[in-house]
Chain A
């Protein structure tokens, strides 16, 4: 399967714990995005990478959130000191830099903070 891969698919954690999610984009894509989706809502933009450079971050991305994309390949999203309000589906998407409007999403990581 050459689509966007996310791991884990589900994560249950206790409030205050740190969690890390991984995204492997489509190999030819140099743009990578993180979105958050809550029940009954559309995806909300969190951050965006062009290769290894993090070019944009949403105001939704508090200081507890950090994302990396070392070597411009896979990306990780870490949430420190999780809160119940962080419970959501975290979606990764990738695209080409040319014609980059076509986003290809992974299946997401469903986070539940107890």
Chain B
């Protein structure tokens, strides 16, 4: 129940395309769902986050879609750029309990 599943494991997108990463969770106690971006040799950095009382949140080219009944959420990166090439982690949180997905390695081709 503590697991967060994430897919795909890796993703290759052309510049200007849409990148979509999906996550699923089991524990309904989770009440905060962040996405982190990690570049090689760096720690994860918070990208965008959502709470389960909304179905969508958009910040610039990044959008989270949240489906509470299905216990799924996804990250959409519009107009993907080579600089977006990184590993993306979804996570789920309640209290001080943060559970991270295994990550998706995104490569955006120029």
Contact = CB atoms under 8 A, between A and B. Distances in A.
Asked if A and B bind, the verdict is yes
Interface string B82-110: 00000001010100111111110000000
Contacts of B42: 107-108
Interface string B68-90: 00000000000000000000010
B22 to A, nearest CB: 15
Contacts of B91: 42
Interface size class of B (residues with CB under 8 A): 20 to 34
A45 B89 CA distance: 14
B97 A45 contact: yes
B46 A104 contact: yes
Interface stretch (A14-22, A68-76, A78-86, A95-103): A95-103
Interface residues of A, number: 23
Interface string B29-57: 00010101000011111100100000000
Contacts, number: 53
Q: Interface centre among B6, B42, B96, by most A CB within 10 Å?
A: B96
A55 B97 CA distance: 12
29 contacts: A4-B43, A31-B96, A33-B96, A40-B102, A41-B102, A41-B103, A42-B6, A42-B89, A42-B101, A42-B103, A43-B98, A44-B100, A45-B98, A48-B96, A55-B96, A93-B43, A100-B96, A101-B32, A101-B34, A101-B49, A102-B34, A102-B46, A103-B34, A103-B46, A104-B46, A106-B43, A107-B42, A108-B42, A108-B43
Interface of A: 4, 31, 33, 40-45, 48, 55-56, 91, 93, 100-108
Given A42-B6, A42-B100, A107-B42, 17 more contacts: A40-B102, A42-B101, A42-B102, A45-B99, A48-B96, A91-B43, A91-B44, A93-B43, A102-B34, A102-B46, A102-B49, A103-B44, A103-B46, A103-B98, A105-B45, A108-B42, A108-B43
